[in-house]
Amino acid sequence: MSCAIIVFSEYSGRTGGGSTQSFIALYLGYYVQSGILNGTGRGSPFNQGKMVGFGGYIWKNVLILVAAMGIGIGVPLALVGASFSREGLMFLCGALVAIAYPLLLALVGTWPTSGIVGSVSGLADAFGRGRRGVVPTFLRLFAGLVLPFIVTLVLITAAASVSSEVDTVFQDGQINLIALVLLVVSQCLGIFGICYASIVLARKFQISEASRFSKGEGHQGDAILATNEISDIFR
């Protein structure tokens, strides 16, 4: 679907494909996390025909992304401003966003996740969960969300030596096979990364809630104890 949206947007010359892709990515993350948190290991986000917590999951994730972009763009503009070239400033902003986004997710990424199980825990509760083991969580999220993008850039750079136009699927009304293959590979890497990051955050929430319950905090319904078939690497 993601590849088809990009190809159709390029072919028709219409905009808006990026927002649709973002929605698909968020839905996929919700679906994966729901499958883990409902204890079956299957994507089953529907409860009596309703997607529990989906609206909150969307806007909370959007807020985290906006905050990361604000940090990544605002800090360089405030500190260096015009002393950098346009290209250098864009690279610096992109690098900071790539660091700020997984870091914020590591700290408060379980805030959107908690709504899937009907929890009303807030941002402070999410931060309490996130500050424990923040470094390994950040590294896993960085690997899932940023490394696929870096690999895609490397592939595009390598493909540029073969074809001068690797950023457009259509050239002179014909399909550029190299660009099409790169598109499919990059989207597959991105989807895999989103699934991985979603699992990391879902397991983070599970483990934190199980720890709270074992210490006698909260109610039993707050402890989301899914099956232990998922690899212990996420611990």
- Is residue 84 within 8 Å of 142, Cβ to Cβ? no
Tokens 């009303």 belong to residue: 120
| 166-191: average pLDDT | 81
Read off the pLDDT of residues 194-211 as tens digits, 9 standing for 90 and up: 999 999 999 999 888 877
State the DSSP code for 164: S
Closest CA to 44 of 56, 54, 32: 32
State the DSSP code for 167: S
Tokens 């159709």 belong to residue: 8
Stated pTM of the model: 0.81
**Res. 234 pLDDT band, cuts 50 70 90:** very low
Pseudo-torsion of CA 52, 55, 61, 65, nearest 10°?
170
The Cβ of residue 132 has, within 10 Å, a number of other Cβ atoms equal to 11
Closest CA to 106 of 201, 207, 11, 213: 201
CA separation for the pair 194, 141 (Å, rounded)? 9
- Is residue 195 within 8 Å of 32, Cβ to Cβ? yes
**Percentage with pLDDT > 70 across the chain:** 79
Query: Hey, what are 141's tokens?
Result: 């999220």
- Is residue 33 within 8 Å of 114, Cβ to Cβ? no
Read off the pLDDT of residues 14-62 as tens digits, 9 standing for 90 and up: 766 678 888 889 999 999 998 888 765 554 444 444 577 888 899 999 9
Read off the pLDDT of residues 89-101 as tens digits, 9 standing for 90 and up: 888 889 999 999 9
- Is residue 104 within 8 Å of 68, Cβ to Cβ? yes
